[in-house]
Amino acid sequence: MSPSRHTKVLIVGSGPAGYTAGVYAARAMLQPLLVQGIEPGGQLTTTTEVENWPGDVQVQGPDLMVRMEAHAREMGCEIVSDIITSLDLSRRPFTAQSDSGTVYTADAIILATGARAKWLGLPSEEKFKGFGVSACATCDGFFYRGQEIVVIGGGNTAVEEALFLTNFASKVTLVHRRNELRAERILQDRLFKHPKIETLWFHEVAEVIGAESPLGVEGIRLRNVKTGAITEIPCKGVFVAIGHSPASELVKDQLEMHNGGYVTVKPGSTETTIPGVFAAGDLTDHKYRQAVTSAGMGCMAALDAEHWLAAQGDQPQKDTILPMGYGAPEGVGAK
């Protein structure tokens, strides 16, 4: 039989939202259990300098996340290396199946599963993933010392990746489908001044081209979005940085969503459409998507869970079948 663990508050995810929820829920004496998932520390572990975390003029993303984990642990949050594979939110206590085989049950759940990199969806991109095509400059940049690299995208991630890759590459070409970047002005300024970086506007990827044996990228075929003209650029690496999608598969068909998969929360709160289930961070936020806003929402989720549990009399409610709808803090489960 699968081992099972019951907790008052189960936190799913170990990014800034999850760890902050862990700190607050532990300090509320809720003895939270946090499941880290496949990427302990979340998206910031895939970057280098973070320059907008208040209190640190500059901090390495992975270091910041190690500190957040230690902080949550120190406050009394139990942190488990496991992955939640499915969630049943239809009755309380809520049930979470996991990769390790442990079945977690919880009176309240805080979802903080964040977001994942988007891909272009081209067959040639798929073919060369791991063989010259990457979505993580911090992870893979080192392999391209002295080589030419192309970065796709026009947001903060693309610009940061292009700048970071200049540490290794002989030349970086940033390819964007418009002639205007979404990235912050300070990053744009650094990009345009960098002698190793060239920008190519109004182009999209038609195909990644490369050798079969050994499998590896040799270049990229680009289409001018205005004229349709095709150009080829030789390169050894293609870094796709076209944004992120919310990691909401676990709760698809169980919770209301907006903007293509972000979990909907009641305005000004972290309550989802199921009472006792709270959502924080990039999973619910299609607009700001920052470490500090995610951490803020993690705090809100822990406080919302604390108030909600107190209103339930802090009693686990066995086999309560749940309706959909925003749960008022004083609402007692089924309406």
**Exactly one of 99, 139, 189, 314 is catalytic; which is it?**
139
Q: How far apart are CA 63 and CA 329, in angstroms?
A: 36
Measured from the CB atom, the residue of 217 and 250 that comes closer to ligand FAD is 250
3-class secondary-structure state, position 323: coil
**Exactly one of 136, 189, 285, 304 is catalytic; which is it?**
136
Q: Collect all residues with Cβ–Cβ distance below 8 Å to 288 and sequence separation of at least 6.
A: none
- Which amino acid is present at 71? H
Site string for ligand FAD, 135-174 (x = CB under 6 A): ----------------------x--x--------------
| Count of residues that bind ligand FAD according to CB under 6 A | 38
Q: CB-side exposure of 206: number of CA atoms within 13 Å?
A: 14
Site string for ligand FAD, 59-98 (x = CB under 6 A): ------------------------xx--------------
Provide, rounded to whole angstroms, the least separation between the CB of residue 249 and ligand FAD.
8
Does 35 participate in binding ligand FAD (rule CB under 6 A)? Answer: yes
Residue number of the CB closest to ligand NAP reads 155
Residues 168-207 that bind ligand FAD (CB under 6 A): none
Measured from the CB atom, the residue of 165 and 222 that comes closer to ligand FAD is 165
Residues 248-267 that bind ligand FAD (CB under 6 A): 250
Residues 144-173 that bind ligand NAP (CB under 6 A): 152-158, 160
* 5 to 10, 32, 80, 152, 287: CA distances (angstroms): 10, 12, 11, 44, 35
Q: Collect all residues with Cβ–Cβ distance below 8 Å to 97 and sequence separation of at least 6.
A: 84, 85, 86, 87, 103
Cis peptide before 214 (omega within 30 of 0): yes
Q: Assess whether 253 carries a catalytic annotation.
A: no
Q: Assess whether 299 carries a catalytic annotation.
A: no
CA torsion sign, 75 to 81 to 87 to 92?
negative
Measured from the CB atom, the residue of 209 and 251 that comes closer to ligand FAD is 251
206, 228 in Cβ contact below 8 A? no
**φ and ψ at 251, to 5 degrees?**
-115, 10
Which of the ranges 56-64, 93-101, 238-246, 265-273 carries the binding residues for ligand NAP, by CB under 6 A? Answer: 238-246
Mark out the alpha helices in the chain (DSSP H runs).
16-27, 61-75, 123-128, 137-140, 156-165, 185-193, 291-311
Does 52 participate in binding ligand NAP (rule CB under 6 A)? Answer: yes
Residues 96-155 that bind ligand NAP (CB under 6 A): 120, 152-155
Q: Beta-strand (E) ranges in 56-202?
A: 59-60, 78-80, 84-88, 91-92, 94-98, 103-111, 115-117, 133-134, 148-152, 171-175, 197-200
Question: The tokens of 303 are what?
Answer: 């406080």
Binding site for ligand FAD (CB under 6 A): 12-18, 35-40, 42-44, 46-47, 50, 52, 83-84, 112-115, 157, 160, 247, 250, 281-283, 289-292, 294
Catalytic residue list: 136, 139-140
Binding site for ligand NAP (CB under 6 A): 52, 120, 152-158, 160, 177-178, 182, 204, 242-244, 289-290
